[in-house]
Chains A and B, each alone.
Chain A
Amino acid sequence: MSKAFLVLDDGAIYEGESWACLGETFGEAVFTTGMTGYQETLTDPSYHKQVVIMTAPHIGNTGMNHEDEESKKIWVSGFVVRNPSPRVSNWRSETSLEDSLIDAGVVGIQGVDTRAITRHLRSRGAMRVGIFSGESLSREEMVIKVRQAPLMTGAFLADDVSTQVKYIVPVPDELQKKFTVAAIDLGIKSATPRLMSLRGIEVHVFPVSATKEEIMAINPDGVFLSNGPGDPATMDAIVDLVREFLLDSMPIFGICFGHQILGRALGFETYKLPFGHRGINQPVKNLRDGTVEITSHNHGFAVAAPVDANFTTVFGAGFVSHINLNDGVVEGLELLERPAFSVQYHPESAAGPHDAAYLFDRFAEMMTKAKAVHNA
């Protein structure tokens, strides 16, 4: 172990010890407050180009396994922990966390005051960060390097994370296939098509570059817009595509980045939150029935939409269906006259509570209704 430094855009420097790979790495500094689920976090493509600070003090206790990964790869550009586990203890574990990070070439840092860094980011907002280990740069040199790294605002990252070729997640043999859905992969997590397939939905996962013709070729019952990294303001092509589907009254369901894209398609602006929502304990209020869901979040941007009353769009009236009870951020959108809805949070959880899994059922219901209208 050698010395390592976590260096923030604003010049704050935290000294720790090297962990996982030696070297240097850059990204947007974000903290996540989940106490479980580091493996899901690491393999969630939405964390692409981000250096993740874990507020939970012990990380790596249960190792890594193949069942819980959300994609085939570790996406974070850096990983910051207080106490990495010296030992793995779990019956499903296959490798240790540190070994997996080394295999993925991830530069980490351990032993830093993660709470102090979190408080810093909370009060100053998300910013660029670098981790340096095994090098002998001066403090000034490190800060300069961090400031040369690209910003998250304006970043178009979908190409990095999207699948190159279309693939299908079939309905399990023991279940009956009811629907075909085209999922546009903006950084999709594996839990999402899995949960849809368990509801009789055959999911065709398309690359971000897919055209309307390619999508319509599978004769989908609905279109799904996945989560993913980057600034939604850079997604004009997809936004245009979504508008076309809206005009066709194609059932649409968006999650996270997909929700932001639906929001933009409806004509709303998206904006960057000061430090985002990342964790698995976020209270979201369903404005339809007043109930509260405890939900999994991972977003730095949000949609600006009016919460107090219905809104009108070129696609007809709609409303904000969910809000975050902590800060009032818009967490769900729904159209009244066309079959489209989206949520900012993660009903597929992984990691996180399963409170919002009902939304996949709603997507299925929506497609059933649309089919009935179509067939009538």
Chain B
Amino acid sequence: MPKDSSIKSVLVIGSGPIVIGQACEFDYSGTQACRVLREEGVRVILINSNPATIMTDPEFADATYIEPITSEIIEKIISKERPDAVLATLGGQTALNAAMALDELGIFEKYGTRLIGADIPAIKRGEDRDIFKKIVAKVGGESARSAICHTIEDCYQAVNELNYPVVVRPSFTMGGLGSGIAFNKEELDLIAGAGLRHSPTTEVLLEESILGWKEYELEVMRDYKDNVVIVCSIENVDPMGVHTGDSITVAPALTLTDVEYQRLRDLSIDIIREVGVATGGCNIQFAVNPLDGRIIVIEMNPRVSRSSALASKATGFPIAKIATKLAIGYSLDEIQNDITQSTPASFEPTLDYIVVKVPRFAFEKFPEADPRLTTTMKSVGEAMAIGRSFPEALQKALRSVEKKGTSFSWSKGNLSIAELKSAVQIPTEFRLQQVQQLMSLGSSVEELHELTKIDPWFLSQIELINNMAVEVRESLELTQELISKSKRMGFSDLQLSELRGVSELEIRNVRHRLGVFPVYKTVDTCAAEFEAHTPYHYSSYDLETEVISRTKPAVIILGSGPNRIGQGVEFDYSCVHAAFALKAAGYETIMINCNPETVSTDYDTSDRLYFEPLTLEDVLEVIRAETLAGPVLGVIAQLGGQTPLGLARGLMDAGVTILGTSPDAIDLAEDRGQFGKVLDDAHLVAPKYGMARSYEEAVTIAHDISYPVLVRPSFVLGGRGMEIVYDDESLRGFIERATQITPNHPVLIDRFLDDAIEIDVDALYDGDELFLAGVMEHIEEAGIHSGDSACVIPSESLNDEMQRQIRAATLKIASGVGVRGLINIQFAITRTNPGETGTLYVLEANPRASRTVPFVSKATGNSLAKAASLISVGKSISELRSSGVLPKSGDGVAHGISVKEAVLPWNRFRRVDGTGVDSVLGPEMRSTGEVMGIADSFGEAYAKSQSAAFGALPKSGNVFLSLSERDKAGSVEPARTLVNLGFTLYTTSGTHDFLSAAGVNSILVRKNSDINASGPSAVDIITDGTVQLVINTPLGRGTRHDGWLIRTASVQRSIPIITTIAGFKAAVAGISEITSHPFSIKSVQEWSA
């Protein structure tokens, strides 16, 4: 059966916003699914609330709904579009949960459609722990042994069977509250005792501990003929106890004999058959006891997962693409292997290289959060690297993470040996680096294995790296042989330069003079058994290169590296569009990136893919290899965010042509003095600022500028360590707490425009003409990082005069800076009275693709990244207008009203004591993703965005308000509206009094700090579920405040919380809309028709 001809249309459910644990790997899988379905002539209907994704581009589906992924909306779409089938296995847990909910409501039956890929009973068998345990037992596998206990005596009894240590998990508590590991009776009394108290059912689950066991994952695929293949095995370098997403992992598994590996393979096959995943992919996780080989099956995901994306990139076997083909009726042997073009997909990839994945964390953004790595995933992104040995792949992956302190170093660290030994026992972000340091200070493999349980094989490989470092440091001369050997161990020029005490450039020159260059091998699924037709390359210091020569001029696009807060899928979106546009324009496109989750690292996206770290050295070597292969027009660095932008200067200095905006222009925009001159020439103003080298200087400057001021250390970027201070005292506090102010490390002080409206502009400039793509108005006032702020396009409150001023200012800045391509400018507008035009301030300009490019592109129907890449290679805006890439005339016009909302990861983090972290927004960006709501009215668009980001706004019930003094006046009207809509308000004393005086009734609850008053406290009514929405605007950051208790309680209880008055007003506008009529739906294609 080649294809199920009854399937003529398919609804694909996407995964929604990027959150921790569910990132752009589902854009990759969903985009593949959409492409496959369209190639097969199937009509594709897509729902995904995430505008930053490539899959939600109008060209990937016939009907694209950027709408909240809720049962209500999906039913509307099904009712309107009548798809023959629904595909929910490629959109992560979000899509799977949506499918389960739809099934419970009987929606599939009602509309005569069906799920393909995995059916509901199979999903349940895979996801329900009890059923799954039975399946494991049935196929002869083992699960971790456990016992349910209701008394401490039960616990003692159970421990006799399970042995110490035991994992204690209280039933029905939030977020693992009260769980822990007991190593002896005293600890059991303590943990299980507390657990029994915490549990509403006085119940704890005791489970045998498999901490420290080896952890493996197998990616499995099955077709309707019951053919099963294992695509990839993955081994965790971090043993059991750390979430796979937070572990350093390696593919293939490296410490199993064939007998042991085949046992995992047999179990995987038996499990996928027994669970009954009809067609498609799933992954199965195992723990293996290093002492006796005992195997425990941990869990399975009956869908495509993050690991599937990793496995696809690691092997060249495109799991999502194949899963989609299987879902519409093909069998594995009917599908061709894209890479060999001669062999079928019904085989198991074999690797002749090593793949290492390293997670990237963002703990620096959440200083209160518990930094220990546990079974709850906390990383925000990952980098992957490929090499011909584990040391080479590991070191490449570590530098791909692009974070200070991640690459191995042999300079003296801050911690003593004793401190390091105690540190490595607890898994944290930098544990492997600490292990490496300890080993270089003399600890043995055996000792470190004892402390960390990391397999001795991995430790011995790190020992090889350390030995190499010593050889490099101590040899008299840097010979060709020595450089070659160290390069084969993955050493960067930078590491060699540190070891030799010379500059990186000197090392590079010596290396080049001695003729030591990397070669580029191919990921081909088959270890070279068959010829590969897909140029998917990685570097290695080996003998033979596989880069073939070409005649077409090439454009090299630099990607954005691992996802991090502030640099995510939005930038991948722009890079992918550049690849598509330039390919269509006749260029050979070459992508360099190291993020396995992305569409840009799909071998289908560009003509050639180099899976390489984004460092100057690695990029220069690719450029060298490609220059030898054929003409290279230049490099595009303006689309991948800060990472490639940071490389532009170095590339130019090395003689590489940077296409589009020049590095000089980039530097100009970042240099306050030079940029100030551009503004002066254009008669534009920026908020006053100064640079202080001491506290005294800071006070003088602050007084000169006048409070409030925005302060930050000058040596960090991206809003890190930024704070708004309102007086001398808090300025002193900030400087003492957050900076080590010195003449070399000054503090920047900017005037903070209180209550200003913030505007974000994306525009294209070709040196002559400006295309103003979109003017977005932030919903939160200035002071909240633009990435965390909701925004709306078209702007709500700007009059024609201000619109004209903004356009004129954008043109002057773009031309003054020398932009060729995209520019993003942030403006602030202050007004003394509502209704007036106001004063325009320029906050900053970034001559590159911004985070909002995909949002603006979708709201206006213009592909800005495509246009920018074409401008980079010399096309003019007028040419783009006549070729249809941009509108024939005028600027970008939004269809309908679009709201973008940021999604924040508060619920992922806990403090060491188990309580939540503060959810207040500030000048430092902390959101991981975004959603978009489109509608005819602002209220509905905003309500959609909230529904997509946090869950639906309430239509009735109770709302809790506790507001800071300066926000009280603004709250009266929205509060009154809520009461008129039938809501009951709960307030703390100050807010209560203020609203009462304005004639708005509310129920008074006591502040938690007010221990003398009686009745329920603010936290009580949040925790017990009385309120459905919490509005709390903060006075300042600090755990002692009542506000903090309110916010953390809301985060723990997952109750929507709004922390700005502007957000409150917008929410009330949304609630007003949804109480009067249900959500409407409209596809992107209909909006732009």
A interface residues, Cβ below 8 angstroms from B: 14, 31, 33-37, 39-40, 55-58, 61-62, 65, 67-68, 82-83, 85-87, 89-92, 112-116, 118-119, 122, 279-283, 285, 290-292, 294, 325-327, 349-354
The 6 closest A-B pairs by CB, nearest first: A37-B258, A113-B543, A116-B544, A351-B258, A89-B457, A55-B527
Closest chain A residue to B449, Cβ basis: A89
Chain A residue, CB-CB nearest to B293: A91
Known: A55-B528, A61-B457. 12 other contacts (CB 8 A): A31-B527, A33-B529, A36-B262, A67-B259, A87-B457, A91-B291, A116-B542, A118-B352, A122-B529, A283-B333, A326-B347, A354-B266
- With A35-B350, A61-B457 known as contacts, the answer to whether A68 contacts B259 (CB < 8 A) is yes
Q: List 23 A-B contacts (CB under 8 A).
A: A33-B350, A33-B352, A39-B258, A40-B258, A55-B350, A55-B528, A57-B389, A58-B254, A58-B390, A61-B457, A68-B258, A82-B388, A82-B389, A86-B464, A90-B255, A91-B291, A114-B352, A116-B542, A281-B350, A283-B347, A325-B346, A326-B343, A349-B262
Cβ contact within 8 Å between B347 and A353: no
- Contact assessment for B258 and A34 in the assembled complex, using a CB-CB cutoff below 8 Å: yes
Question: Which B residues lie within 8 Å of A294 (CB)?
Answer: 229-230, 346-348
Partner of A57, one of B230, B354, B464: B354
Q: Which residues of B contact A122 (CB under 8 A)?
A: 528-531
CA distance A116 to B353 in the complex (A): 13
Q: Tell me the chain B residues, 533-586 only, with Cβ under 8 Å from chain A.
A: 542-544, 546
A87 touches B353 (CB 8 A): no
Closest to B545 in A: A116
Q: Given the complex of chains A and B, what is the CA–CA distance between A219 and B801 in angstroms? A: 105
A55 and B354 alpha carbons, distance in the complex (Å): 11
> Does B527 lie within 8 Å of A291, measured CB to CB?
no
Asked whether any CB of chain A lies closer than 8 Å to the CB of B644, the reply is: no
B257 with A62: CB separation less than 8 A: yes
Is there a chain A Cβ closer than 8 Å to B241's Cβ? no
Q: Smallest Cβ distance from A71 to chain B, in angstroms?
A: 16
CB distance from A74 to the nearest CB of B (A): 16
Question: B166 an interface residue at 8 Å Cβ cutoff?
Answer: no
User: In the complex, what's the smallest C-beta–C-beta distance from B773 to chain A, in angstroms?
Assistant: 46
Interface: B189 (CB within 8 A): no
Chain A residue contacts of B271, Cβ below 8 A: none
Contacts of A39 in B (CB 8 A): 257-258
List, in ascending order, chain B residues with CB within 8 A of A58's CB: 254, 354, 389-390
B344 at interface, CB cutoff 8 A: yes
Question: Cβ of B762 < 8 Å from any Cβ of A?
Answer: no
User: A162 to chain B: closest CB distance in Å?
Assistant: 25
Binding site for A on B (CB under 8 A): 225-227, 229-230, 252-259, 261-262, 265-266, 290-293, 332-333, 342-344, 346-354, 388-390, 445, 455-457, 460-461, 463-464, 521, 526-531, 542-544, 546
List the B side residues contacting A90 at CB < 8 Å: 255-257
Known contacts A90-B257, A115-B544: A281-B262 contact under CB 8 Å: no
A67-B259, A283-B347 in contact; A119/B389 too (CB < 8 A)? Answer: no
Assess the B333–A292 pair: CB atoms within 8 A: yes
Contact B352 A115 (CB under 8 A): yes
Question: Is A292 within 8 A of B346, CB to CB?
Answer: yes
Cα distance A350–B225 in the bound complex, in angstroms: 26
| CB contact between B445 and one of A40, A55, A87 (< 8 Å): that residue | A87
Q: Are A89 and B456 in contact (CB under 8 A)?
A: yes
Determine the distance from Cα of A89 to Cα of B457 in the docked complex, in whole angstroms: 6
Q: Contacts of B463 on A, CB cut-off 8 Å?
A: 86
Determine if B262 and A290 form an interchain contact, defined as CB atoms under 8 angstroms apart: no
Report Cα–Cα, A325/B230, bound state, in Å: 17
Considering the complex, give the chain B residue whose CB is closest to the CB of A63.
B257
Given contacts A33-B350, A56-B352, A119-B528, contact A113 B542 (CB under 8 A): yes
Residues of A within 8 A of B346 (CB): 283, 292, 294, 325
Q: How far is the CB of B641 from chain A (nearest CB, A)?
A: 33
CA distance A56 to B257 in the complex (A): 13
B350 touches A325 (CB 8 A): no
> Are the CB atoms of B543 and A36 closer together than 8 Å?
no
Decide if A326 touches B530 in the complex (CB within 8 Å).
Answer: yes
The chain A residue with its CB closest to the CB of B332 is: A292
Which chain B residue has the least Cβ–Cβ distance from A289?
Answer: B225
User: A327–B388 Cα gap in the complex (Å)?
Assistant: 28
Please measure, in the bound complex, the distance between the C-alpha atom of A114 and the C-alpha atom of B540, giving whole angstroms. 13
**Do B257 and A354 have beta carbons less than 8 Å apart?**
no
Q: A376 to nearest B CB, angstroms? A: 36
How far, in whole Å, are A350 and B257 apart by their CA atoms in the complex? 11
Report yes or no: A61 in contact with B255, Cβ–Cβ below 8 A.
yes
Asked if A56 and B351 sit within 8 Å, CB to CB, the answer is yes
Nearest-CB distance from A316 to chain B (Å)?
30
Evaluate whether A118 and B227 lie within 8 angstroms (CB atoms) in the complex, with A58-B254, A86-B460, A87-B445 already known. Answer: no
Residues of A within 8 A of B229 (CB): 294
CB pair A291–B225 under 8 Å, yes or no, is yes
Chain A residue numbers with a CB within 8 Å of B266 are 354
* Given contacts A35-B351, A89-B455, A326-B530, A61 and B262 within 8 Å (CB-CB): no
Inter-chain contacts of A62 with B (CB < 8 A):
255-257
Chain A positions within 8 Å of B226 at CB level: 291
Contacts of B457 in A (CB 8 A): 61, 85, 87, 89
A279 to chain B, nearest CB (A): 6
Report B187 CB to chain A, min CB distance, Å: 29
B831 to chain A, nearest CB (A): 65
Once the chains are docked, how many angstroms separate the CA of A36 from the CA of B456? 18
A272–B848 Cα distance when bound, in Å, is 59
Q: Which residues of B contact A281 (CB under 8 A)?
A: 347-350, 526
Known: A36-B256, A58-B389. A325 touches B347 (CB 8 A): yes
Which residues of the other chain, A, contact B227 by a CB distance below 8 angstroms? 291-292
Select from chain A the residue with minimum beta-carbon distance to B340: A326
In the complex the two chains form, is B258's CB within 8 Å of A352's CB? Answer: yes
Partner of B257, one of A92, A279, A285: A92
- On chain B, the residues within 8 Å of A351 by CB distance are 258, 262
Q: Which B-chain residue is minimally distant from A62 (CB atoms)?
A: B257
Say yes or no: B256 contacts A118, CB within 8 Å.
Answer: no
Residue of A whose beta carbon sits closest to that of B464: A86
Q: Tell me how far the C-beta of B514 lies from the nearest C-beta in chain A, rounded to whole angstroms.
A: 17
A119 vs B543: C-alpha distance when bound (angstroms): 12
- Bound complex: CA of A79 vs CA of B798, how far in Å? 75
Residues of A within 8 A of B464 (CB): 86
Q: Which B residues lie within 8 Å of A350 (CB)?
A: 258
Given contacts A62-B255, A82-B388, A91-B290, whether A354 and B262 have CB atoms under 8 Å apart is: yes
Instruction: Provide the residues of chain A in CB contact with B290, threshold 8 Å.
Output: 91
Nearest A-chain residue to B519, judged by Cβ: A113
Q: Which residue on B lies nearest to A324, using beta carbons?
A: B343
Q: Which residue of B lies closest to A56 (CB)?
A: B352
